[in-house]
Amino acid sequence: MQPITANAQSRFLVCVDNQPESRTALRLACLKAAARGIAIDLLHVLAPADFQTLGIIAERMQGERRGEGELLLKGLAEEARAHGVEPGLLLREGAVGEEIIAAVQADPRINLAIIGTAHQTAGRGTLAAWLAGQLGSKLFVPLLMIPGNLTDQQLQALV
Q: Which CATH number fits the domain that encloses residue 128?
A: 3.40.50.620
Q: The domain containing residue 153 runs over which residues? A: 11-158
Q: Please give the model's pTM, rounded to 2 decimal places.
A: 0.82
Within a domain: 108:
yes
Q: How many domains does the chain have?
A: 1
Residue 11 and residue 37 in contact, taking contact as beta carbons nearer than 8 Å: no
| Residues 46-88 pLDDT 10s | 987 666 666 677 778 788 889 999 999 999 999 999 999 999 9
Contact partners, residue 138, CB within 8 Å, separation at least 6: 101, 105
Within a domain: 143:
yes
Within a domain: 152:
yes
Confidence band of 4 (pLDDT split at 50, 70, 90): very low
Predicted local confidence at residue 33, as pLDDT: 94
| Residues 92-140 pLDDT 10s | 999 888 899 999 999 999 999 999 987 665 555 566 666 667 666 777 8
CB atoms within 10 A of CB 16: 29
CB atoms within 10 A of CB 93: 15
Sign of the CA dihedral running 28, 11, 139, 75:
positive
Predicted local confidence at residue 16, as pLDDT: 95
